[in-house]
Structure 1
């Protein structure tokens, strides 16, 4: 069994961060060691929440504790998502280096969650800069959305061609794989939900239905990043992992849309996460 140290947020109510990603990764047969960067009552896009940011020192202490029972060598990957403070960025990268000492084959997937004023996603000052300057150069895989793609690449990305250039720039900065979780309104077809996967082997594009919600669910990116990483650890090729992830997430979104609710319905869609009923195919474009 493969093991992922997943360092991201936790919400008591609803689905975001580790709450969104852990169960789906476990459904794919991967064990998840959830280390929370924050513990909130609910995700921040409700506009109000209670809870606290975990002190940065806790990250290193928890990792050392795992090492002291001689288990850290069993960790195959580190996944980071929503970060509660700028100081946590360096702690997470240090944690990955610690894991790497015990398992040289371990990889790091950075889901670079940044503030999104339109959606109400709030991150602390300095987190964005830490992700760009500290985390991105160390990551094997990075999974930006359109907002994050612009920040990481330094390009305005106003059309599909510029999105292609942006992923190439990011590949030149350290990551070996870039999965763009959502191209939003700059893709080939704004009526579709579009994603990109870029590696040294080429660039692939996939489209799936864009479900129209009254209020967009949160945690979709966390689900996407987690499933992609779990698929890779299970031995799937980049392309197969990309397609399974896109199809499983589509089925979760359809289940959520049909239920008419705000929070992701990962439990109701559990069988579809393992065996998606959608079969959208990626197309190589470069």
Structure 2
């Protein structure tokens, strides 16, 4: 039984972290082995607050050891990581990826380097951002940053498409083979933009930006999961990009139509089988 280890946050209510990523991957036909870095009652953008706790790094590592003990790491197709609750978890993540790849050299590592966004700023425990940039992202086969996170990685500001292309090319030179920028907020105020970069060039896809009274949380986690699933199906990266863009847009449309700000992942699950939108990517470099 092949599977994907997904190391991310988890919320009991709503869809963020593993709660946003696991079901879409399952709906795409994958076995997913979720490992939670934190477990919260709900995501952190509620004014009422939240309850829960972060796992310590040893607890995360112990779960991987348990999978290894029953001989399943050899069947791990990919490690997907998202929000990390501590610098110690970030260090253990590198060890976990190395461990998986020793057992199965064909496994790939997809890093969603959750750091924050321009409006919320950095929202990590001390040391996590630095460890992601210096140790984790360079070791990843695929990184899925937003514009804020990509700028931190390459130490360059991004104001337009040309800047984004240069930043993506620099990111590729630092280790990853594929870069998916899951949100380029500086490219357009009217459109939602994503950029893909690999050895073949840079590609841009845009779709309409939807208005919400409160911005949905977990969209980046959803995009990273959908892109991961596309790659593991053997699709070319540009095809995986278009699928992730279109399927996530379908979920957001259903969320908006429902008058909700929690992602309506279950309601819109048919989008994971056949997205209703068909926005195409174009080569920009």
State the TM-score, normalizing by the size of structure 1. Answer: 0.97
Higher mean C-alpha displacement, 78-87 vs 109-118: 109-118
The answer as to whether partners of 1:142 and 1:178 remain within 8 angstroms in 2 is yes
Query: In the alignment, what sits opposite 1:102?
Result: 103
Query: In the alignment, what sits opposite 1:37?
Result: 37
Query: In the alignment, what sits opposite 1:52?
Result: 53
Change (3 A) 1:228 1:60: same
Q: CA–CA distance in 2 between the matches of 1:262 and 1:79?
A: 25
Change (3 A) 1:263 1:159: same
Q: Which runs of 5+ in 2 are unaligned?
A: none
Query: In the alignment, what sits opposite 2:280?
Result: 281
The answer as to whether partners of 2:38 and 2:54 remain within 8 angstroms in 1 is yes
The answer as to whether partners of 1:45 and 1:119 remain within 8 angstroms in 2 is no
Residue 115 of structure 1 deviates from its aligned partner by 3.1
Report runs of 4+ in structure 1 exceeding 3 Å deviation: none
Query: In the alignment, what sits opposite 2:201?
Result: 202
Q: CA–CA distance in 2 between the matches of 1:46 and 1:4?
A: 30
Q: CA–CA distance in 1 between the matches of 2:236 and 2:160?
A: 28
Query: In the alignment, what sits opposite 2:190?
Result: 191
Q: CA–CA distance in 1 between the matches of 2:272 and 2:257?
A: 16
Residue 122 of structure 1 deviates from its aligned partner by 2.5
SS, match of residue 32 in structure 2? strand
Please give the per-residue CA displacement for 1:220-278, whole angstroms capped at 9, x wherever unaligned.
Answer: 00000011011111111111111111100110111111111110001000011210010
The 5 A counterparts of 1:261-280 are: 261-280=260-279
Q: CA–CA distance in 1 between the matches of 2:203 and 2:214?
A: 29
Query: In the alignment, what sits opposite 2:71?
Result: 70
SS, match of residue 116 in structure 2? coil
The answer as to whether partners of 2:6 and 2:34 remain within 8 angstroms in 1 is yes
Q: Which runs of 5+ in 1 are unaligned?
A: none
Aligned length: 284
